[in-house]
Amino acid sequence: MATVAFFAPIGAGHVNPTLGLAAELVRRGHRVTYATTEANAARVAETGAEIVPWTSAWDALSLDDVPQMHGKGLVKAMGLLLGETRSALAQLGAGERPDLVVHDGPLCWWGRILAHRWQVPSVETWPNLVSNEHWSMQRRYTTVNPLSFGFLRVVLRLGALLRKEGIGDVQGFMRGDRAAVRLVLLPRAFQYAGETFGEGYAFVGPGLTERSYQGGWQPPGDSPVALVSLGTGYNNRPGFYRAVIGGAAGLPWHVVLAVGGVDPAALGPIPPNVEVHAHVPQLAVLRRARVFVTHAGMGSTMESLHFGVPMVAVPQMAEQRANADRIAELGLGRALPDSGLTGSQVWDAAEEVAADPRVRERLDWMRGEIAEAGGAPAAADEVEKVLNWGS
């Protein structure tokens, strides 16, 4: 059997979607190594992969320092990503040569570089919407000036790094042209213009693991459960949480609220039907939930769809706005603006989608699309095809 090396950035939205694939490859008898930081070690260990430890400079970023890889934040994000790439290469570049590299497509530049350095095939995991000539995040949801000084400066610095590695085509590197296949971790039906993505893209859908390391969760009574979370990256929204909490008082819902690093003491009085946590075992709660008020990150979106839970999407960044619009377009829930919301607006939308039979029909349809996509076994089949080509 083969040795497959996984590389990913530190964000849960980029790590969690790959864990099912890692576990499936281990189950099939492959040796899987996974370069991960201490914060993600428990979730990776659950797959049976061998942990290769490294330290990320991004661990030191505060909530307000996390930039977007779109729009005005793109230049700063690219600069931080370039620094992270240099650091990762210094820590991981002396590792053993695997038979194949699996790495995150949007952010893991060091995975692309190491696959080239080792001259082994690579497979990219894409936990978000992908782009081509028919649909593009940059064209629809963001504006970037490719002639700005800051953008050109980062591109020149990246080009210098790539030349040292023997990579001359910067644009091809940014596109991920070297990858044998892109595993898109959502069903084709959720992708905008999904029918236009042909060879080189495999829409395998989500491959979830149990995440037993997070522990379980049981509802305290018979009230319908509403999960509220803005994810792990852009969740510094105490005003939003206060509105949600205030609006939930006296409602028949039992609310599970995840607030990240926000101090619960800043949220005011907590009614008895609301429980507040920094983080929650999301899959365990979704199994019991009737509605999910979510930032519409793709990982959370796919998890909600996997369990057939309708969504009220409150996006916090460009990529999430695209997901939220798609949720609404496909009839899987509602999308709300990301600012100025009142508690009553949030809970009116939650009760509406939870009770709407048309939303239930669309959720059942999408669950069928997810099942047909194949999940982790289908992704592992694609990896093994590449391994067979290599042999």
Quick one: pLDDT at residue 66?
55
Which tokens in the block code for residue 206?
A: 């989500």
CB contact set of 183 (below 8 Å; sequence gap of 6+): 21, 123, 124, 125, 126, 202, 204, 379, 382
Contact 342, 173 (CB under 8 A): no
- The CA distance from 255 to 224, in Å, is 9
Fold of 3-205+374-390: Rossmann fold (3.40.50)
Helices (DSSP H) in the chain: which residue ranges? 12-27, 41-45, 74-92, 109-118, 137-141, 149-164, 170-175, 238-248, 282-286, 298-306, 318-329, 343-355, 357-373, 375-390
Quick one: pLDDT at residue 63?
46
Element (H, E) at 52: strand 50-53
Sheet holding 254-258: strands in order across? 274-277, 254-258, 225-229, 289-294, 311-313, 333-335
Contact 81, 104 (CB under 8 A): no
* Closest-CA residue to 3 (of 35, 33, 23, 48): 33
- How many beta carbons lie within 10 A of that of residue 369, not counting itself? 18
- The CA distance from 183 to 22, in Å, is 13
- 256 forms beta bridges with 227, 275
Fold of 212-370: Rossmann fold (3.40.50)
Residues of the chain with CATH 3.40.50.2000: 3-205+374-390, 212-370
Specify the 3-state DSSP secondary structure of 294: strand
DSSP 83-104: HHHHHHHHHHTTSPP-SEEEEE
- Digit-by-digit pLDDT tens for the chain (391 residues) are 899 999 999 988 999 999 999 999 999 999 999 999 999 999 999 999 999 999 998 876 654 555 555 556 677 888 999 999 999 999 999 999 999 999 999 999 999 999 999 999 999 999 999 999 999 988 878 766 666 777 888 889 999 999 999 999 999 999 999 999 999 999 999 999 999 999 999 999 999 988 888 888 999 999 999 999 999 877 889 999 999 999 999 999 999 999 998 999 999 999 999 999 999 999 999 999 999 999 999 999 999 999 999 999 999 888 999 999 999 999 999 999 978 899 999 999 999 999 999 999 999 999 999 999 999 999 999 999 999 976 5
- The CA distance from 228 to 273, in Å, is 13
Task: Indicate yes or no: pTM above 0.75.
Answer: yes
Q: Calculate the CA dihedral of residues 54, 58, 59, 60 and round it to 10 degrees.
A: 130
- The CA distance from 324 to 335, in Å, is 5
Quick one: pLDDT at residue 57?
86
- The CA distance from 323 to 318, in Å, is 9
- The CA distance from 13 to 279, in Å, is 14
- The CA distance from 350 to 82, in Å, is 41
CB contact set of 174 (below 8 Å; sequence gap of 6+): none
Specify the 3-state DSSP secondary structure of 293: strand
